[in-house]
């Protein structure tokens, strides 16, 4: 009885299908069929055949050693080493004596010229004088006027002229940004404003703002728009009744 037939009879005796064995042992179905037909040693190297056979035999509760002893392995023929190419005879280069003598004379003459030049190199450099140039006088340049920052304007109420009790701030986000608002020392908001959103906060005396992207928002205070130059303090503002000023790092 061959190894494959013994494996097949053990499997059918336990009423197992090839699919069930493959699912339990993780061996591909075509490998199990090749084992049961004694063809796996023709498709794989011996090390893989021994591994699959051992796993399959242990699953069928068979001893793998007698089954491995029955296998006949085909001897792998080692490829013959290629024959070494025949050694070429040494090539002799012959230079005619007249040509060799001419080359020696030219080399000797060149060496003498180089030696003479090296002994006194400045003698062979042509002498020439450079023209003199006079730098033109620079005209006096008046200092440029320094650009002064526009003074902070006081915060006014609406155009109606009536007195406003406190501060009313409205923020419109042209693009998504992050904002933090404090009113009179209390944290009112710390959130992300989506694009197109509008928020409104009020305070009695003081508003503190921290905006991630100040150029992406529009601010309106007590009904009046705040210019972009007034909010360009790295997005950190203090708004009071007296005006708008940058928020110091200590207040964060």
β-bridge pairing 236-240 and 244-246: antiparallel
Give the tokens for residue 6. Answer: 């013994």
Question: Which domains are assigned to the chain?
Answer: 3-70 (1.10.260.40), 167-251 (2.60.40)
Measure CA 157 to chain center. 53
pLDDT bracket for residue 141 (50, 70, 90): very low
In this prediction, residues 123-138 reach a mean pLDDT of 54
| pLDDT value, residue 149 | 46
More confident: 148 or 206: 206
- Rounded percentage of the chain residues whose pLDDT exceeds 70: 66
Residue 16: how many other CB atoms lie within 10 Å: 14
Q: 240, 155 in Cβ contact below 8 A? A: yes
| pLDDT value, residue 72 | 67
Mean pLDDT, the chain, as a whole number?
76
| pLDDT value, residue 91 | 62
What is the layout of strands, in order, in the sheet containing 224-225? 198-203, 167-173, 217-221, 224-225
Least confident of 75-79, 91-95, 155-159: 75-79
Question: Which of 76-85, 160-169, 219-228 holds the top average pLDDT?
Answer: 219-228
More confident: 70 or 21: 21
pLDDT digits (tens, 9 = 90+) for 163-187: 456 899 898 998 899 898 999 988 9
**Diameter of the chain by CA atoms?**
119
Question: Which of 57-71, 79-93, 221-235 holds the top average pLDDT?
Answer: 57-71
């Amino acid at each position: 009885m061959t190894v494959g037939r013994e494996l097949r009879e053990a499997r059918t005796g336990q009423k197992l299908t090839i699919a069930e064995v493959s699912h339990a042992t993780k061996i591909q179905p075509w490998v199990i069929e090749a084992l049961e037909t004694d063809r796996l040693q023709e498709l794989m190297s011996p090390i893989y055949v021994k591994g699959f056979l051992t796993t399959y035999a242990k699953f069928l509760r068979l001893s793998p050693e007698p089954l491995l002893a029955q296998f006949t392995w085909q001897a792998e023929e080692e490829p013959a080493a290629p024959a070494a190419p025949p050694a070429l005879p040494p090539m002799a280069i012959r230079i005619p004596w007249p040509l060799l003598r001419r080359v020696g004379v030219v080399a000797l003459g060149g060496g003498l010229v180089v030696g003479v030049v090296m002994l006194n190199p400045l003698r062979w450099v042509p002498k020439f004088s450079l023209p003199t140039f006079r730098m033109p006088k620079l005209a006096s340049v008046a200092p440029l006027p320094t650009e002064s920052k526009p003074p902070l304007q006081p915060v006014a109420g609406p155009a109606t002229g009536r007195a406003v009790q406190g501060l009313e701030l409205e923020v419109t986000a042209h693009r998504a940004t992050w904002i933090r608002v404090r009113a009179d020392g209390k944290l009112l908001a710390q959130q992300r404003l989506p694009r197109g959103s509008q928020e409104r906060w009020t305070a009695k005396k003081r508003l503190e703002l921290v905006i991630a992207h100040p150029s992406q928002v529009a601010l309106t205070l007590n009904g009046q728009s705040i210019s972009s130059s007034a909010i360009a303090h790295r997005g950190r503002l203090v708004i009071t009744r007296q005006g708008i000023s940058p928020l110091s790092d200590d207040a964060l």
